[in-house]
Structure 1
Amino acid sequence: MSETTTETTALRTEIQVDGETASYLTVEQDGPAVLLLHGTYWSRVWLPVLDRLAEAGLRPIAVDLPGLGRSGGELTLETGTVPALADWVARFASALKLSGPIAVAGHDIGGAIAQHLLVHDQLEVSRLALVNSVTYDSWPVSSVARFRDPDLVAATTGDEILAARRQAVTTALAGAATEQLIADYLDPWTDARVRRSWMAMVGAADNRYTREAVPALRQNTALKLLIWGEDDGFQKVAYAERFAAEMPHTTLIRIPDAGHIPTENAPGPIARALSDFFTA
């Protein structure tokens, strides 16, 4: 099926990973694969750029992590950690028979997974792009970290989680926010299983994984691209500036008047930047 909220040739399809459905958005065609990872949202964050990546000759694959978005299964505190999710992404890539070095882009906590994949051996990563990603000790942010309290989680209703996510999504979308787009982003959280998976990911959120990756990232010679919405109140652009200054072969592209999900604010410039980076 195709996504109906944005005009696109991208299709939603699925494959089995660990006996559960792994759902992903893609434009099926020959060309180098680009694996697109989300964080505390879902694959919807990549939809605005998929067609343009395909027009550049790439095969974009925006997967929903287990228990999130449209994928089946359910995360736990053990399977929701960055290393566990990186292992799952490697199994997903294997299920798709993606061979050779693979280009990877990550948004939000998906960026932590991408960094982990780059500096460990689960997947051979050719190039790394981070879009308003978590880095260093920048996460979990306060609006997410409060859900790490087991007592608060036990007392929180589904409606309260939806209300919290609505507020976060509205802020993240910045000037692109409309009622339809907010509803589109929130749709997966109407499923209690997805809410539980999201809470597990939040409960497992730990910035030691990005902090521990820093020494290896400083030694890594792969090309890296940072794309940052300058008005992001969750992942400050100062972290991107620090990363670009410290990590070799890194380029930073700043997106003015864009928030935490800049693909919705400036899909054209971001798609061009990603396409140029992955096809150079």
Structure 2
Amino acid sequence: MRRTAVQVDGDAISYLTAGQDGPVVLLLHGTYWNRVWLPVLGGLAEAGLRPVAVDFPGLGRSEGELTLETATVPALADWVTRFVSAMEIPGPVAVAGHDIGGAVAQHLLAHDLLEVARLALVNSVTYDSWPAPHVARLLDPAVAGTITAEEFLAARRQAVATDLAGAATEERVADYLDPWTDPRVRRSWLAMAGAAASRYTLDLVPALRRSTTPKLLIWGEDDDFEKVEYAEKFSLEIPRTTLVRIPDAKHIPTENAPHRIARALADFFAV
């Protein structure tokens, strides 16, 4: 596994990858960063795939900074097309998304921004499942503007520890928190939170119902916000969808069952 960067819109955009050759699997994160995909990269590479887990601008290890305008789902989806072009990734592209990254992935498919060969969602936002209450309060700029660095980091520490469930260790929590010690990354996170709106996924439902692209849902069953009931609804309403449930896992199941999830993703994408 290695971390490298590519220039997109004048910023050095960081991404994790593994393997050398093979079909690319594009992995998109949401309100965390590409660290959520780290546990499954090796398994995907061993299956003959080339996973590419990108950090959105201003998040994780990428340069740049998101604003309320550039952090919307449509804007991020447009940005992904520029990243794919900069990486010279040939189509069709296999795409997986976690959290808001899942909304971006759905948007890419529904609006034909990329030729999406297969779509996987891991505890993704869907329908009207989002924004979560702790994010919704930040839609008010007056509230977001009063949050101190100490308050921000304390809130994210609590969220990380909760979302990792049984995989939470002090070292792992600290690793997840590290990018947010940078004020620029905190501002980008607040922009993503402030741009959150369920209309972006609700508007996609008609197109997704017409889609014949194969889809895989992988879900931590104990997620407090992106509840498994939303995944069940999606799998019933959206054609060619399979649901894999991960027991005893919350919002970041890749940390709780990395081998099982890597195998499920590899079996789905390596066709």
Partner residue in 1 for 2:40: 49
- Cα distance, 1:236 vs. partner? 0.3
Partner residue in 1 for 2:162: 171
- Cα distance, 1:27 vs. partner? 1.0
Partner residue in 1 for 2:101: 110
Partner-residue secondary structure (3-state), 1:274: helix
Q: Is the 8 A contact 2:19 2:49 kept in 1?
A: no
- 1:69 corresponds to 2:63: no
Partner residue in 2 for 1:140: 131
- 1:89 corresponds to 2:80: yes
Partner residue in 2 for 1:15: 6
1:251-274 deviation digits (Å, cap 9, x = unpaired):
000001111000000001000000
Instruction: Please tell me the residue identity of whatever aligns with 2:128.
Output: D
- Cα distance, 1:28 vs. partner? 4.1
1:78-112 deviation digits (Å, cap 9, x = unpaired):
00000000011110010000112000000000000
- Cα distance, 1:221 vs. partner? 0.2
- Cα distance, 1:208 vs. partner? 0.3
RMSD (Å), alpha carbons: 0.6
Partner residue in 1 for 2:192: 201
Equivalent positions of 1:1-280 (< 5 A) are 10-280=1-271
- Cα distance, 1:190 vs. partner? 0.2
Partner-residue secondary structure (3-state), 1:60: strand
Partner residue in 2 for 1:5: none
**Structure 1 alignment gaps of length 5 or more:** 1-9
- Cα distance, 1:146 vs. partner? 1.2
- Cα distance, 1:277 vs. partner? 0.2
- The CA distance in 1 between the partners of 2:44 and 2:38, in whole Å, is 10
- The CA distance in 2 between the partners of 1:163 and 1:77, in whole Å, is 23
TM-score, scaled relative to structure 2: 0.99
Partner-residue secondary structure (3-state), 1:131: strand
Q: Is the 8 A contact 2:19 2:46 kept in 1?
A: no
Instruction: Please tell me the residue identity of whatever aligns with 2:247.
Output: P
4+ aligned runs moved over 4 Å, structure 1 = none
- Cα distance, 1:121 vs. partner? 2.7
- The CA distance in 1 between the partners of 2:44 and 2:99, in whole Å, is 20
- The CA distance in 2 between the partners of 1:223 and 1:121, in whole Å, is 15
- The CA distance in 2 between the partners of 1:37 and 1:243, in whole Å, is 19
Q: Is the 8 A contact 2:5 2:13 kept in 1?
A: yes
Instruction: Please tell me the residue identity of whatever aligns with 1:96.
Output: M
- The CA distance in 2 between the partners of 1:28 and 1:265, in whole Å, is 23
TM-score, scaled relative to structure 1: 0.96
- The CA distance in 2 between the partners of 1:145 and 1:116, in whole Å, is 21
- The CA distance in 2 between the partners of 1:234 and 1:179, in whole Å, is 23
- The CA distance in 1 between the partners of 2:130 and 2:213, in whole Å, is 24
- The CA distance in 2 between the partners of 1:31 and 1:228, in whole Å, is 26
**Structure 2 alignment gaps of length 5 or more:** none
Percent of paired sites with the same residue? 73
1:232-254 deviation digits (Å, cap 9, x = unpaired):
11210000000000000000000
